[in-house]
Each structure stands twice: as structure tokens, then as C-alpha cells.
Structure 1
Amino acid sequence: MIIETGSMLFLHQHVVQSLIDNERKSLMARGDSHRDVLEESFTDNTLQHIVLMESKTDTEVVITDQSGNVIESSIAINDEINSIIFPITNDDLIIEADWESQSYIATASPFSSNSGESGTVYMLKSTNQMKGLITNLNHHFGIAVIIILFFLVITNLILVKLLTKPLVSMKEATKRINEGDFTVTLPVKSRDEIGELANSIQTLAGNLNYLQQERKEFLASISHELRTPLTYIRGYADIGQKPQLTDSQRIEYLKIIHEESIRVSTLLEDLFELAKMDQNSFSITKEDIQLGDFLQTIFDKAYPVFSNSGIELKLYRKQECYANIDPLRLEQVVLNVLDNALKYSDGGTTTIELSKKDNNCKLTISDQGKGIPDDQIPYIFDRLYRVEKSRSRLTGGVGLGLSIVKEIVDAHGGELKICSEIGVGTSVSILLKEVSIGETNFIGR
């Protein structure tokens, strides 16, 4: 409304000023025309002809001599007109321009005829007509302003409603999110900034809802994983206290208690590792390591375990390279992946392969196990997620291993990829940035 009001005031002032300027120029041009005629022919007939012409128009003419005496006039001379006309020495002057407070606007055109006469042609025009015209103009402007303001108000009300309705919806949605209800749905479908904001709030709500469900499942799974071994420990501890047990029975029960206590200890250690990673309080100490020799050490350590399980473990050092890593943390990663391959492979071959891809060292561990369904691969790095929900008692896994693997690889600035096919096996690839150490003599195996 401020812009509209300012624009209308400027336009009105410009139109009025243009109208007055045109009237002044027209009056001046008419006076100059009479002056030119008198300079060519200064006769009584010419004077009377000029006066007769002006008496038929809405303008008036007063012709004076050099001393200011009136020679001819189309209007009766009064005090007001006498105050306007006076001897003029300059050419082409507007001698009265105030149309608002004066009765006339006036111009003066001095002349000097060929026959030696000189004087001034005064042109006058009543301001009443201009005032009436401007009054009508003001009236039309007023109507235009009212119409424009009406449509402006209607348009603004519509725009405000269109803008505030989605904003109110988003406000209510954020209020529900703040109260813990993440199942909000925003119907805003526009592609402008409001639509982008609505999509961001919708995405936020979806992510928070997913985190809430994950937290509930995480706590439920932790409770279950802790309750089960503790129940075994307590139960077999009670049984082990009975006096009628034989030594072999008591030893068997103690063995079960020992295994379950190890399970609880392992779970707590994994949780402690994840807690440190979440708080960014776990540290990695990097150094430049030759990955071929590093993997050879892990291979030698894991080979007997795989052999005893009837699984053939192979190491292929196709291309040697250096990487800046924390050897203890990366060994934890490799052993964790190998442990999963051992648990879910019934025979077959598990391979560890070292190669290069672009400027990266590529470490690939492949097994011939059960495989993972495609729809579950995106979730296997979630904490406590298990592809087979009932397998923990058979394999001892609680679904934290791959979460730790992902965190450690990310901390190294690496990339972790998994490809799997049901009944064929799973392949885990780790890409680490290669570092240049200079030429080294490698021993392949």
C-alpha cells in the first residue's frame, strides 16, 4: 500500500505538472505568433484582427507600447490585470505561472516592428478552467485509487491466506514434532521456498521417527541380549549350588556360566566402543602401512580357525600398496568381516584380495555363504540389526560388529561397499586412499 500510494501521488503530480506546462507553452506560442505578425505589419487592422481572434477563444490578449500604455485589448483592464502587465525588456517571458492562487497565467512577448513601433504582446488565460480540469482529474484519480486499493486488499488477503496456510500447517507440524509425534504429514506440494521448507520438515520428521523406532528397537534388543545370558548365568549358578551334583555336572554348568559371561562382556565392550565413537572420544593412531604384509599377518592368524571349520581361506596380493591407517583398528575391521564370513559359510572358500582402484587401495573379502537379501543390505550397518532375527543364540552375534566396522572405515576416510547374492555369497570391499612411499621390493604370495 505504501508503494501504491507513493506511485499514485507521483503520477498525479506528474500529470498535473505536465498539463500546466503544456498550457504555458501553448500560451507562449500563441503570444509569439501574434508578435511575429505585428513585427511584419504593425497596423490598426492587424491589431484589431488579433484582438478579434482572441475574443473568440478562452485566452485574452493585451498589447502595449514601449511605455506600457495599452494599445489594444480583448479584455477590460482592471487592477489585477494592471498588476500583471508592465514594460518588458527581455524576450519571451512567462510573467505569471501561479495557477493555484492567481486568476490568470500570463506570458509576455516583446516585439519591434519593421516600421519602428515596439511594445509587448501579453497573453492571459483564466486559471478557472485549469482548476476545473484538475478537479475532474483529481476525481478520476480518487476513483482509480479506491478501485486499485480494493483489488490490492483482495489480492493481499488471498496471498496472505495462500502463504500463511502452509506456514500454519508447518507450525502445527513442528509443534507436534516437539511433543514427540513424528508421524506428521504436510500437504504442501509447491516448488518454491515454502515447498522446500515443508519437504525439509517432512524429511526431518521422517528421520526423527526412524531414529525413535531404532532407539526403541536398540533398547529392546540390548535388554534381550543382556537378559538371556544373565538368565543362563543365574539359572546355572543356582543349579551349580546343589550338593547332589557330580563334579562333571558342576564343571559343565560352570563352563556354560563362563561362556555366557564372555558373551555379556563382549556385548558391553562393543557397546562401549560404539559409545566412544558417538562421542568422538575414540582415537585412531595412523601410520603408513604396507597392506600386503599387514593382511598376511591377519591371514596367518585366521587361517587355523577357518581350516578347523572346513572353510578354505585364501589371500591374493594382486597389487601392493601403502595406506595411512591405524593397524589395530583396521585389523579389528578385517577380523570382524572374516568372523561374519566364518559364521555364515558352510564350507566353500573365503578370499582376501588386495588390489588397486584409481588412487585407492582396494581390500575385498568374499565368502561363499548364505548371502544377504537385497532389501536388507542398506540396513546391515544399523546397530543390533540381524538379517536372521533368531540366529543370535546359534552364532553368538548381536548385530554390533558391522556397525563398528562402518564407524572405523569412516574414521579412516574410506569407503565401504557390500555386494551379496542369496545362495552365492557376500563380498565386502574397503577402499582406502593410497600413499606414496617410494619404490619398495614386495614379496607376493
Structure 2
Amino acid sequence: MRKIRVKFKTKSLKWQLLFRWSLILTLLLIIMGISQYFITRSYLLSGKNQVLEARLHDLDKDDLQDSKSLNNPKSKAEFLVKLISDRNTSVVIIDKKGEIISESKGINDDTAPPHLSKEEYRKLIFESAKGENYKIVRNLSDDTDMIKFKKINLLSQTLGLVQISTTLDPINTMLLNQIYFYIVASIIIIILGILIGKSVLKYTLKPLYNLTNSLERVTVGELNMRLPVDNGQIEIDGLSCAFNGMFNRIETSFENEQYIKEKMQRFISDASHEIRTPLTSIHGFVEVLLRGAAKNEKQLDLALNSILTESERLTKLVNELLMLTKLDQQIKYDMKNENIKDIIEEIHPQLKILAGERRIDLELKDNLLVKSNRNQIKQIIYNLVQNAIQQTDEKDGIISISLNSIDKPSGSFIVLKIKDNGSGIPEKDLNEIFDRFFRSDNHRSRKSGGYGLGLSIVKSIVDAHQGEISVYSKLNKGTSFSIFIKKVE
């Protein structure tokens, strides 16, 4: 359990940011420390070099002439050594062969000055322009010294070389102390940086923690909850907006699912009821026949006619349900360019038979082509006219079918309008008339009332043709259905 908690903690955003902040701070301090070390070292060595340079410049031509006036070379060298050397400076005199003639004892008179090889001395005498460069070497005591050179010239000849050196121990000690101090200061800075960074990160990540806590409280019953989008951080605000958008989609999907579930339950209930009614009638008449009614010709004829009627109603219901199932499955039908006027005129005789004494008026514009399935267009017209027949009076009923075109921003459409002067549909039912098995009270009270599937089939066919259907109705004035399908030029 402890390992899991440690692993989880190391994967947290706060820990990773704090670790990376500490790493960056440490790297910056290391880079600054190295840079400061070399800058300070260069500055101190430059200062030391200037001191030695000043000592050599104090050796003027008169001093060199005095040294040259001495007859003994060793005496000349000792003269220069005494002249230049002091408590902090060691001097070595080298002849032109690279051999040491004389030298001082060095600092505190207990250490010898550093020596180079003969080859190095001769190279400095004959190859260096002025012999005033410096080197950093280790002396016989393994301490670090800085050495600098100056040629001894007579006219155009070089007679020897003066080497002056001084210890770098004070500089090394100073640099070492600086390193120790910088390491301690850096450790303190890193610790303070971690503590301050931890507090800053805790405050900075607070909106993220609040967002996490809010999301953990979300349940199915709280899908309408929305996260605040004004947290003072653009990234967190963007995340909140994204979550709110996701909640909107989930809430909409959940509501749609609930709506579909309720519709499905009602559909199953209504379908079961509608199927059970004719089956009950058929079963009842069969029982009557089995009990002896078959011997009575009048009763037999009544029972058989009733069974036939109910079986036809059941067949019609099953066919309509099968059609809706096919439409729901979006089975592709053959689509051709059809002239809607020709289709209406083709089924007009059948419509007149269905209408009985009702009047059917046609007002059709020719040459209006749509890409459609001929049989499905017939089904639309038949269902809407059948619906109008059920709503209108048997003698005074008037059903008008008009066909026209209209231009919209999305293109040109044909408008098929079927209007009646019937009882109308209550306003409260207008939004539900395309639901399956829905029938208004007026519709249910009529003897010729169907199962409430006709308009559902019409709506599904119109959707399959990527069209639109609208309805306008007033009680006791009539109803008008308008169908819009894109026209083919």
C-alpha cells in the first residue's frame, strides 16, 4: 500500500512540477557557480600578472647596464636576483644556453622557485618576441606558482632570461572558500526554492483541485451541474469549458435516451394493446362458433364476417409496423426522378373511391421533378388523404391537394399540400401527432379511426427523402399538411 501511495505521489502534477523546478534551479545555480568561479579566477590571475608585470617593468635599462658592467656572470645574476626579488617574489636568472645561473630562495626562504627544462627556457629565449608571457606551474613543493619572463638584451643580442614567480596559494584558498560558501548558499537557496515553490504550486493548482473535487461529485442525477469558467487561469478555464460542453452532450444524450426509452415502452404497450384487440375478437367469435353458433346460418355469417374484418385490421397493423421497421433501418429504396403530378393523377381515382361523397380538389403544377421512390410518395398521399377523410364530414367534406414550388436559401423545393375542412387537431396535440400510436381524442372517437401509425409512416418517408413536413390546424376549421422535398432541375 505504501509503495502504491509513493508511486501515485511521484506521478502527481504538483510533485513533477516541483521536481522539475528544483532541477532547473539546481542547474542554474551550477552554471552560475562555474561561471563565477572562472570569472573570479581569471580576474585574480590577471591581477597577479599585473603585479609581476610591474616588477619586471621596474627593471630599467640602467639596472641592466649595471649588471652588464660586472665582470663575473654569476655576480651579474646575483645582482639582478637581489634587485628584483622580495618576500613574495622568487627570481631565477637563466643564460642563453637555458642553464640557471642564480636564483632566490623563494617565499619564507624555505622553498625553491619553480624550474622549467632547458629546452623550454631556450624556446622562450629564441622564439618568444619579448619573453613577457606567463605560465602556471607547480613548484617542487607541489604548490601552484605563476611565472613570468623578461629577456636580457644587449644591442640586438639576447644574453639570457629573467624568470619571476609568485605563489598562487592565496588565490587558490580564496577560490576554495568561495566554492564552499557558494555550495552552502546554493543548498539554502534550493531548500528555500522548494519550500516557496511548494506553496506557490499549491496556490496555483488550487483551481485544478477544485475542478477535480467538483467532477468527483458528479452523478447521474447532477448532469445539469456546470463548472465555473472564471478561475483566473486560461488553461483551467478552457478545461472547464470542455467539461461543460461534455456535460451538455451527456445530458442531452441521457435525456434523449430516456425519451426514447419512454417512447419504446409506450410503443410496446400500444402495439400490444392494438394487436390484442383484434385477436380477442377473433378468439371470441371462434369460441361462439365452437359452442354451436355454426349451426345457425345468420350467426355463422356474422361471426365469419367479424373474423375477416378483424384479421384484415390485424394484417394492416402488422404491415404498417413492418413498414416502420424498414424505414427505421434506413433500407435503401430505388430513387428516380419522378413528376409528382403524374403520381397524384395516377392514384386520384382510388382517392375518390375512398372519399365517397366528399369532394377532392386538385391544383397541380406540372413538371415538378423530385428524386424519390414512387410507391413511397403514393403512401404519403394515401395516408394524408385517409387522415383527412377520417376528420371530415361524409357529405360536406372537402379535401384539396395542391402542388407548387418554392425557393429557399438552401435550394428549390416542391410543396405538396393536403388540406381539409374537418374537425381539426387540438393545439396541444400538434407536437405529438407524428408519434407512433398517438391519436387525438377527436380521432379516437371516430369509427374509422386507425392505429395512429399513418402519420408516423408519412414522417419517416419524408425524412428518408431528406424533406420536411409541417402542419397547421384549427379546431372545427380544418387541417393542412405541407411537405417540402428538394426539386430536381
Structure 1 and Structure 2 fold alike (TM over 0.5): yes
For 2:373, the equivalent position in structure 1 comes to 326
Structure 1 counterpart of 2:447, from 379, 394, 401: 394
Structure 1 counterpart of 2:225, from 178, 187, 196: 187
Question: Matches of 1:406 and 1:77 in 2, distance apart?
Answer: 116
Question: Matches of 1:104 and 1:378 in 2, distance apart?
Answer: 102
| Residues 17-36 of structure 1 mapped to structure 2, 5 A cutoff | 17-31=34-48, 33-34=50-51
| Residues 64-213 of structure 1 mapped to structure 2, 5 A cutoff | 95=136, 124-126=171-173, 127-148=175-196, 150-151=198-199, 154=202, 158=206, 161-169=209-217, 173=220, 185=223, 187-190=225-228, 191-213=240-262
Structure 2 counterpart of 1:305, from 340, 354, 358: 354
Classify the secondary structure of the residue corresponding to 2:435: coil
Q: Give the residue type in structure 1 aligned to 2:460.
A: E
Q: What is the Cα deviation at residue 80 of structure 1? A: 12
Q: What is the Cα deviation at residue 421 of structure 1? A: 3.4
For 1:176, the equivalent position in structure 2 comes to none
Structure 2 counterpart of 1:340, from 387, 391, 394: 387
Question: Matches of 2:337 and 2:112 in 1, distance apart?
Answer: 107
| Residues 232-251 of structure 1 mapped to structure 2, 5 A cutoff | 232-239=281-288, 242-243=292-293, 247-248=297-298, 250-251=300-301
| Residues 417-428 of structure 1 mapped to structure 2, 5 A cutoff | 417-423=469-475, 424-428=477-481
Classify the secondary structure of the residue corresponding to 1:189: coil
Relative to structure 1, is the Cα distance of residues 28 and 298 closer, same or farther in structure 2, using a 3 angstrom cutoff?
farther
Q: Give the residue type in structure 1 aligned to 2:360.
A: L
Relative to structure 1, is the Cα distance of residues 273 and 267 closer, same or farther in structure 2, using a 3 angstrom cutoff?
same
Relative to structure 1, is the Cα distance of residues 95 and 27 closer, same or farther in structure 2, using a 3 angstrom cutoff?
same
Q: Deviations over 1:115-144 (max 9, x none)?
A: 998666766342233123213322322322
Relative to structure 1, is the Cα distance of residues 260 and 133 closer, same or farther in structure 2, using a 3 angstrom cutoff?
same
Q: Is the 8 A contact 2:361 2:399 kept in 1?
A: yes
Q: What is the Cα deviation at residue 18 of structure 1? A: 2.8
Q: Deviations over 1:224-273 (max 9, x none)?
A: 11222223333344445554996555544443333222221111111112
For 1:7, the equivalent position in structure 2 comes to 24
Relative to structure 1, is the Cα distance of residues 137 and 367 closer, same or farther in structure 2, using a 3 angstrom cutoff?
farther
Structure 1 counterpart of 2:313, from 257, 263, 275: 263
Q: Give the residue type in structure 2 aligned to 1:417.
A: I
Structure 2 counterpart of 1:316, from 348, 351, 363: 363
Q: What is the Cα deviation at residue 185 of structure 1? A: 3.5
Q: Give the residue type in structure 1 aligned to 2:186.
A: N
Indicate the percent of aligned positions where both proteins have the same amino acid. Answer: 23
Q: What is the Cα deviation at residue 338 of structure 1? A: 1.8
Question: Matches of 1:128 and 1:150 in 2, distance apart?
Answer: 33
| Residues 215-230 of structure 1 mapped to structure 2, 5 A cutoff | 215-230=264-279
For 1:415, the equivalent position in structure 2 comes to 467
Q: Is the 8 A contact 2:90 2:113 kept in 1?
A: no
Question: Matches of 2:318 and 2:224 in 1, distance apart?
Answer: 41
Q: Deviations over 1:148-204 (max 9, x none)?
A: 45326745884664344344445x54xxxxxxxxx6635243442222233332222
Question: Matches of 2:276 and 2:329 in 1, distance apart?
Answer: 26
Q: Is the 8 A contact 2:136 2:147 kept in 1?
A: yes
Q: Deviations over 1:31-77 (max 9, x none)?
A: 46546756765579xxxxxx99xx9xxxxx8676686998899x768
Q: Give the residue type in structure 2 aligned to 1:187.
A: M
Q: Deviations over 1:384-423 (max 9, x none)?
A: 23343971763432222222222222333x2122131333
For 1:443, the equivalent position in structure 2 comes to none
Question: Matches of 2:115 and 2:428 in 1, distance apart?
Answer: 102
Give the alignment's TM-score, normalised by structure 1: 0.72
Relative to structure 1, is the Cα distance of residues 164 and 212 closer, same or farther in structure 2, using a 3 angstrom cutoff?
same
Q: Which runs of 5+ in 1 are unaligned?
A: 45-50, 56-60, 97-102, 174-182, 437-445
Question: Matches of 1:134 and 1:406 in 2, distance apart?
Answer: 83
Q: Is the 8 A contact 1:320 1:354 kept in 2?
A: no
Structure 2 counterpart of 1:274, from 314, 324, 328: 324
Question: Matches of 2:50 and 2:301 in 1, distance apart?
Answer: 135
Classify the secondary structure of the residue corresponding to 1:359: strand
Relative to structure 1, is the Cα distance of residues 372 and 18 closer, same or farther in structure 2, using a 3 angstrom cutoff?
farther
Count of matched residue pairs: 403
Question: Matches of 2:148 and 2:427 in 1, distance apart?
Answer: 100
CA-based RMSD: 4.5
Q: Is the 8 A contact 1:31 1:121 kept in 2?
A: no
For 2:71, the equivalent position in structure 1 comes to none
Q: What is the Cα deviation at residue 28 of structure 1? A: 4.4
Computing the radius of gyration over CA atoms, which structure comes out larger, 1 or 2? 2
Check if 1:360 corresponds to 2:413.
yes
Question: Matches of 1:80 and 1:147 in 2, distance apart?
Answer: 53
Structure 2 counterpart of 1:287, from 336, 347, 362: 336
Q: Which runs of 5+ in 2 are unaligned?
A: 1-15, 64-84, 95-99, 229-239
Classify the secondary structure of the residue corresponding to 1:397: coil
Classify the secondary structure of the residue corresponding to 2:437: coil
Q: Is the 8 A contact 1:27 1:107 kept in 2?
A: no
Question: Matches of 2:433 and 2:110 in 1, distance apart?
Answer: 108
Relative to structure 1, is the Cα distance of residues 131 and 394 closer, same or farther in structure 2, using a 3 angstrom cutoff?
same
Q: Give the residue type in structure 1 aligned to 2:390.
A: K
Q: Is the 8 A contact 1:323 1:433 kept in 2?
A: yes
| Residues 372-383 of structure 1 mapped to structure 2, 5 A cutoff | 372=425, 376-383=429-436
